[in-house]
Amino acid sequence: MASPYEFIETHRERFEDELKSFLRIKSVSADSTCKPAIEEACQFVARKMRSAGLATEIIPTVGNPLVYGESLLAPGQPTILVYGHYDVQPSDPDDKWESPAFEPTVRGGNIYARGATDDKGQMYLHLNAIEAWMKTVGKLPINVKVIIEGEEEVGSSGIGDALSTLKDRLSCDAVVISDSSMYAPDQPAITYGLKGICYFEIYLDGPKRDLHSGTFGGSVKNPINALTEMLAQLVDPDGRVRVPGFYDDVLPLSEAERTSIARLPFSDEEYRSEMGVDDLFGEKGYSTLERRWARPTCDINGIWGGYQGEGAKTVLPAKAGAKFSFRLVPNQEPSKIESALKAYLEEIKPKGISIAIKHHHGAAAVVVPLESPTVRAASRALQKAYGKKPFYIREGGSIPICSSFKEVLGVDSLLLGFGLNDDNTHSPNEKFCLKDYHRGALAIAYLFEELANKGDG
């Protein structure tokens, strides 16, 4: 009988074909016209789980449905909950993609498609690992629950709402999530910290109709001018957030952690060149990795208003708007930030303008302890799959559900990322290295064995 590890090796082609089919499904959760694709992606995941040998069911929520599967045939062994998501970010700007976002294309050992790394590829490799155990050994060496949601990119409200109801069903010793990056090519990492997020949209209303900027300019506040004035007051030029009270609860980085981050191989100059900018940016007094991983930030994610077409139009528009988000660090509470922001915006709002604010989603940051049997097992599994010890890193991205798992299930999440920083998540030409797709499955297959192996040391 082949081992699970051999099974993964010999089924590379089929696993890649399955991933391609999955990536063709345009499951953009932010776009309500993609509802049928959301349903299709959900069914696709359910079929794979069933064929991998999990008892599978689709769980409806207030939003997009969850796919749940389990195999609990290892009494006395630990139980893990694998979490992932089948929804993806919007693909625009589509004209910047070298191959279409929803026609997966392999170039240079990478598969290019929206969702390749975030999170379809990284999520699916867990199902490949489960299938490998099931179809060789006939069962898993530990107890595994899998929950895959369809709204991670828009705030996880469906699973968030269902979580307390599902509490007993999802009870576990640890959550395992692959939705982040390695430190560098061939250098695996365990991510022990994630930022939180608060995402907002602001709408400004000025005059009741678009006006001629010559005839009316200087008498009526222009909503775009007002918008730039307000947004410019969100952060100072170095990126320090100006919302009163924003930093009140920020947990400072410990000296030990700063030392450990400083020890990682990182070149500002290489990073600057890779980003294609003439200067890096950010809050004074912190290194680039510290700013990216452990300091709160504010980015405007989109802005619009007035005439965006070719040539000149002398309009004083009736409306303008923007999307912006804060990344939060441990101990900052999204709901407190939301209240502080709303009060601040009302305070700095110019006369002659009315505003409306929409809160898209919020999530607290998480940091997990490095000293745990789960982390140690993961370290050994990564070493077996990659032949190298993992680095311990943090990440600027947010996985909103992590803090909910901690709160409701009382467990930490193990973040094993198999992507790379240049995978273009949320950008055109998103990719995932196929080698890591398979090494990732291998690492997860080893993780099951390592978690079962109590010789922890």
**Which residues are catalytically annotated?**
87, 152
Q: How far apart are CA 399 and CA 334, in angstroms?
A: 14
* Three-state SS at 56: strand
C-alpha of 142 from chain center: 27
Residues 6+ apart with CB under 8 A from 63: 150, 151, 157, 158, 161
Peptide bond into 373 cis (omega under 30): no
Return d(Cα 235, Cα 291) in angstroms, integer.
15
**CA gap 138, 308 in Å, rounded:** 60
Alpha-carbon span 403 to 423, nearest angstrom: 25
Angle between helices 434-452 and 12-23 (to 10 degrees): 110
Burial level of 176, CB count in 10 A (0-12/13-18/19+)? Answer: buried
443: number of CA atoms within 13 Å, CB side?
A: 33
Beta partners for 211? 316
Residues forming beta bridges with residue 310, ordered by sequence position: none
In sequence order, what DSSP letters do the residues of 379-423 get, joined into one string?
HHHHHHHHSSPPEEEEESS--THHHHIIIII---EEEEE-B-TTS
DSSP per residue over 160-208, as a string?
HHHTTTTTTTT--SEEEE--SB-SBTTB-EEEEEE-EEEEEEEEEE-SS
Distances (CA, A) of 437 to 9, 16, 44, 260: 11, 9, 18, 29
